[in-house]
């Protein structure tokens, strides 16, 4: 399949390592492989960088000099945007959900946002939920009035443009599988705004990876993700000289391991973080990757995957989100 990729800025450290988690594999009886997208950078770690390579190339090509995006107070995506904006010399405005606790020192991603010089605008959860689009437009109007040219990046950089990030990653995965001589039964990732799953699902189909992409939901239910992943793929349609039938691809979402809600994890998730850290020296985060990893282990226990199977876990990053939740560890 020849796909003409759009312009891309080389911002992530690629290709990321692909290795087997041998002690976890021994313990659970299935070959568990890990794609280390937590190593796309240092402070700049995680999955958002892959999407932003395409998003920011477009923003620059359009002559924009400022970026506006949104997310939770501890958003990994906002932190990545803040750091990349600084690196590219673009002013960054973050519209954040929730109010800062001013009695406490800034922590995790929020600390890095601040260090990177991002302009932080916090809104109460209700107001944010009710009028996010308006809040982003308001910010944009303000910047235009100051003579700037802003580019608005949607939540998680998940849209038709962001899909390119994990479509691009699938070329790496194809080479990884060939090198290790494996034919994985599944690729498992945490799914939050859907763009990573959309790119992987599309790449699996277009590059004949012959596997199944399983999105482990961390916030909304299966119906929401089915719709969102399909929407991102539809938006991507026709780009790169390729058209696809999203209904033929099969989108697989597991929403059984969300726990108490977005950003809230139960004791089993923190136990999973400890287990993976102590057996493999790999750090997962309580918001995304540990929920997905825990869900994957539960599915192995249930017999969804069996001895001899190869399962690939995409480590999408998120380490800085662990520190503000240190009290639960």
| Contact criterion met (CB below 8 Å) for 156 and 193 | yes
The pattern of x and - marking residues 282 through 311 that bind ligand PLP according to CB under 6 A reads ---x--xx----------------------
E runs forming strands in 73-113? 91-97
H-helix or E-strand spanning residue 60 = helix 48-61
Q: What angle do CA 152, 156, 162 make, to 5 degrees?
A: 75
Q: Choose one: 85-93, 247-255, 295-303, 315-323; the region binding ligand PLP (CB under 6 A).
A: 315-323
CA-nearest of 86, 97, 91 to 68 is: 91
| Binders in 55-94 for ligand PLP, by CB under 6 A | 76-77
Q: Which residues pair with 70 in a beta bridge?
A: 95
Is residue 317 close enough to count as binding ligand PLP by CB under 6 A?
yes
CA distances from 310 to 33, 182, 183, 313 (A): 7, 7, 7, 10
**Closest residue to ligand PLP, Cβ-based?**
318
What is the contact mask toward ligand PLP in residues 218 to 257, using x (rule: CB under 6 A)?
Answer: ----------------------------------------
CA dihedral 21, 22, 28, 33 (to 10 degrees): 40
Q: CA-CA distance, 197 to 229, in Å (whole number)? A: 7
If binding is defined by CB under 6 A, does position 164 make contact with ligand PLP?
Answer: no
Q: How far is the CB of 134 from ligand PLP (least distance, A)?
A: 22
Beta bridge partners of 256: none
For ligand PLP (CB under 6 A), the number of binding residues is: 21
Closer residue to ligand PLP in complex, CB, 108/194 = 194
Contact with ligand PLP (CB under 6 A) among 31, 47, 211, 254? 47
Cβ 204 vs Cβ 166: under 8 Å: no
> What residues contact residue 165 under an 8 Å CB cut-off, 6+ apart?
47, 50, 51, 52, 53, 54, 157, 195, 196, 199
* Shortest Å distance, C-beta 265 to ligand PLP: 13
Q: What residues from 91 to 150 belong to the interface with ligand PLP (CB under 6 A)?
A: none
Identified catalytic residue from 25, 45, 75, 158 = 75
Among 184, 295, 318, 324, binds ligand PLP (CB under 6 A): 318
Q: How far is the CB of 216 from ligand PLP (least distance, A)?
A: 9
* CA–CA dist 159, 195 (Å, integer): 6
Question: Minimum Å distance from CB 218 to ligand PLP?
Answer: 7
Cβ at position 199, least distance to ligand PLP in Å? 8
For position 158 contacting ligand PLP by CB under 6 A, the verdict is yes
48 contacts 76 by C-beta, under 8 angstroms: yes
241: burial class by Cβ within 10 Å (0-12, 13-18, 19+)?
A: exposed
Catalytic-residue membership of 75: yes
Q: Considering beta carbons, is residue 34 or 143 the nearer one to ligand PLP?
A: 34
The pattern of x and - marking residues 181 through 210 that bind ligand PLP according to CB under 6 A reads: ---------xxxxxxxx-------------
| Distance in Å, CB of 144 to ligand PLP, minimum | 28
Tokens of 75: 């958003």
**Nearer to ligand PLP by C-beta: 192 or 263?**
192
Residues with a catalytic annotation lie at 75
Contact positions vs ligand PLP (CB under 6 A): 46-48, 76-77, 156, 158, 190-197, 285, 288-289, 316-318
């Amino acid at each position: 399949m020849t796909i003409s990729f759009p312009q891309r800025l080389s911002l992530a450290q690629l290709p990321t390592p692909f290795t087997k988690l041998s002690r976890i594999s021994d313990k659970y009886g299935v070959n568990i492989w890990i794609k280390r997208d937590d190593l796309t950078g240092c402070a700049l770690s995680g999955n958002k960088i892959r999407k932003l390579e395409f998003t920011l190339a477009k923003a620059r090509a359009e002559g924009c000099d400022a970026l506006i995006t949104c997310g939770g107070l501890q958003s990994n995506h906002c932190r990545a945007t803040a750091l990349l904006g600084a690196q590219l010399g673009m002013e960054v405005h973050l519209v954040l959900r929730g109010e800062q606790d001013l009695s406490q020192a800034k922590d995790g991603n929020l600390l890095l946002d601040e260090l990177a010089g991002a302009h932080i605008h916090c809104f109460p959860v209700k107001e944010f939920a009710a009028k996010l689009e308006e809040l982003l437009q308001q910010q944009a109007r303000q910047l235009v009035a100051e003579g700037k040219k802003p580019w608005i990046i949607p939540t998680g950089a998940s849209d038709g443009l962001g899909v390119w990030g994990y479509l691009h990653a699938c070329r790496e995965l194809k080479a990884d599988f060939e090198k290790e001589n494996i034919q994985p039964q599944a690729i498992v990732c945490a799914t939050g705004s859907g763009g990573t799953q959309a790119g992987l699902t599309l790449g699996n189909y277009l590059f004949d990876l012959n596997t199944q992409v399983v999105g482990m939901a961390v916030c909304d239910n299966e119906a929401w993700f089915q719709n969102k992943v399909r929407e991102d793929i539809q938006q991507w349609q026709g780009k790169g000289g390729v058209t696809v039938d999203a209904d033929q691809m099969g989108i697989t979402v597991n929403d059984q391991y969300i726990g108490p809600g977005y950003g809230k994890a139960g004791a089993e998730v923190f136990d999973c973080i400890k287990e993976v850290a102590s057996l493999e020296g790999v750090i997962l985060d309580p918001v995304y990757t540990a929920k997905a990893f825990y869900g994957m282990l539960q599915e192995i226990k249930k017999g969804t995957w069996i001895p001899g199977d190869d399962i690939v876990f995409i480590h999408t990053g998120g380490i800085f989100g662990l520190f503000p939740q240190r009290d639960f560890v």
